[in-house]
Amino acid sequence: MKLTFLGTRGYIDPENRRHRMHTAAMVTYRGARVMIDCGETWLGELDDLSPDAVVVTHAHPDHVAGLMEGCDRPVHTHDDAWRTIGAFPIPKKHRRRLHPRRPKRIEGIRFEAFQVVHSTRAPAVGYRITAGRRSVFYAPDLVAIHDRSAALGGVDLYVGDGATITRSMVQRDEETGEPIGHTTIRAQLGWCRDEGVPRMIVTHCGSDIVGGDERKAIREIRALAKERSVEVEVAHDGMEIVLR
């Protein structure tokens, strides 16, 4: 399985040559190509990317607005996201539903959605992705993971939210009081330690990484990872990894 980080920038104004495009990834296995998320900066780019299918985590603009002019290939996502993007001109034959904790093979790659805490207006999921003998958990925006042990148990790699390193970005929804926003990289490294995940890659990078001294930020992240005995890497646009 190959994972290409097409974009790694969160929904922020700062950008640089390493983090320019909104967060998206391409999973490739035995010739099949499945794109995860398609945000604003990807509008008009699908033909060049040529995925066989698109899988969506949630319906915030930096994850779905690249589909607002339609899509001529299957789009897979959960009911909460379809309620938001249902008005997009995606042909009915290409609209596919995913249900949490009900694995589905998409172009030969196994996707299992897990509900995550992130937004009450745009509920999100993370995906446990399995191809061959390797598994990855991919969750670019979150505060917490429901059924975390089931989501992370036995995975080779966790790809998580890079909005903040240590400062809190968790708030309470004004109407429901539920937590929303982004947890820290520090907390996610703790999840990896607790669940036995050996490696984390940071994506959906926020201003701590993109808007400041990235080398200093990476040193801080590596120090936090070392304390928790987890390998860590900060993704950048175009970065590729292969899991064999």
Per-residue pLDDT tens for 8-66?
999 999 999 999 999 999 999 999 999 999 999 999 999 999 999 999 999 999 999 99
pLDDT of 121: 94
Interatomic CA distance for residues 210 and 98, integer angstroms: 32
Contacts of 111 (CB under 8 A, 6+ apart): 34, 55, 76, 98, 103, 104, 105, 127, 128, 129
Query: Can you name the residues that pair with 102 across neighbouring β-strands?
Result: none
Yes or no: say if 84 and 120 are a contact pair by the CB < 8 Å rule. no
Q: Give which of 3, 45, 1, 46 is closest to 239, Cα–Cα.
A: 3
Q: b/e map of 201-213 (b: 16 or more CB within 10 Å)? A: bbbbbbebbbbee
Per-residue pLDDT tens for 69-104?
999 999 999 999 999 999 999 999 999 999 999 999
Per-residue pLDDT tens for 117-163?
999 999 999 999 999 999 999 999 999 999 999 999 999 999 999 99
Instruction: Name the band, by pLDDT with cuts 50, 70 and 90, for residue 228.
Output: very high
Structural domain boundaries, residue 79: 2-242
Q: Specify the CATH number for the domain of residue 31.
A: 3.60.15.10
Number of domains forming the structure of the chain: 1
